[in-house]
Amino acid sequence: MVVFKKIADLQAYLHQQKTSGTDIGFIPTMGALHKGHISLLGEAKKAGCLSVCSIFVNPTQFNDKEDFEKYPTSLEADMTLLLDAGCDVLFLPPVTEMYPAGTEEASKYDLGYLDTVLEAAHRPGHFKGVAQIVAKLLDAVQPQKLYMGQKDYQQCMVVRKMIEIDNRDVAMVICPTQREDDGLAMSSRNRRLTDPQRAVAGIIYQCLVSILTKKGNADFAIVRKECFDLMKHKGLEPDYVELADANDLTILSNYNGRPMVALIAAKVGNVRLIDNMIL
């Protein structure tokens, strides 16, 4: 695995690789890697791509200073995981490389509706920061394929919109959520859960399954209330339980015949978890 900290060095190396006709598959991350990230890398390798991972904890996507400061980092363990998984290139830029003019630089992306609902309503500015950094990383890496996890469903929609706005020539591959044995979606934030919190966190997945199984024979308002009650009973603090159009995230008041996605955000202690399921 070759490691680069500077865009110019990364690009010089990738330029050589591209001349041999290899596609580049890019996996952007903020580190604290787990099997979910490694599955994205696996998909890039399966597609025969030269795999490029980035680790960069992007300050502009944190609306909460404490969340940024507490974001887990584990560079040594991450590098071992990437090496073992056969990652070809690791891009590890410092903040000054991604934001030479400073992190006050405004995001140019108008994300419209996507920047008003669900996660956006709870984390103002978050998605503008995500669009801004993923665009910068795509400029640096210039991959043919971009691998992202379905776990961050709205983030995938936002990145798809940014790609459309910029008319970028990159294919986005959305990969399935990796889960623990009790269904909890793998997330870097899970490592901040205490044992008792971890023991109840799988209830989010159970709620999604119940939304799926009741599709077609129940009123969503009732199913949503059951999910809220169940999560609260287990000591979670749900932010939302929503049903949305899977293509554009229009919030739905009830099940319909179109492709839908159920989305949940809930706090377990002070750790905020999100998950979703396509219905």
Residue 41's nearest CA partner among 58, 27, 31, 29 is 27
Contacts with ligand PAF: how many residues (CB under 6 A)? Answer: 10
The answer to whether 177 contacts ligand PAF (rule: CB under 6 A) is no
The answer to whether 29 contacts ligand PAF (rule: CB under 6 A) is yes
Write the binding mask 61 to 100 for ligand PAF: x where contact by CB under 6 A, - elsewhere.
Answer: x---------------------------------------
Q: Is 34 a known active-site residue?
A: no
- Say how far apart CA 118 and CA 157 lie, in whole Å: 12
Judged by CB under 6 A, the residue of 78, 97, 152, 239 near ligand PAF is 152
- Say how far apart CA 277 and CA 130 lie, in whole Å: 22
- Say how far apart CA 195 and CA 81 lie, in whole Å: 24
The answer to whether 114 contacts ligand PAF (rule: CB under 6 A) is no
- Say how far apart CA 171 and CA 148 lie, in whole Å: 11
Write the binding mask 122 to 141 for ligand PAF: x where contact by CB under 6 A, - elsewhere.
Answer: --------x--xx-------
Class of residue 143 by CB neighbours under 10 A (exposed 0-12, middle 13-18, buried 19+)? buried
The answer to whether 120 contacts ligand PAF (rule: CB under 6 A) is no
- Considering Cα of 124, then 183, then 74, then 173, what sign does the dihedral take? negative
- Ranges of H-type helices in 85-151: 95-98, 119-122, 126-141
Nearer to ligand PAF, 123 or 224 (CB): 123
Q: Residue 148 pairs with which residues in a beta bridge?
A: 174
The answer to whether 58 contacts ligand PAF (rule: CB under 6 A) is yes
The answer to whether 265 contacts ligand PAF (rule: CB under 6 A) is no
| Identity of the residue numbered 59 | P
The answer to whether 60 contacts ligand PAF (rule: CB under 6 A) is no
Judged by CB under 6 A, the residue of 7, 30, 203, 208 near ligand PAF is 30
Residues known to be catalytic: 37
**Residues contributing to the site for ligand PAF (CB under 6 A):** 28-30, 58, 61, 130, 133-134, 152, 155
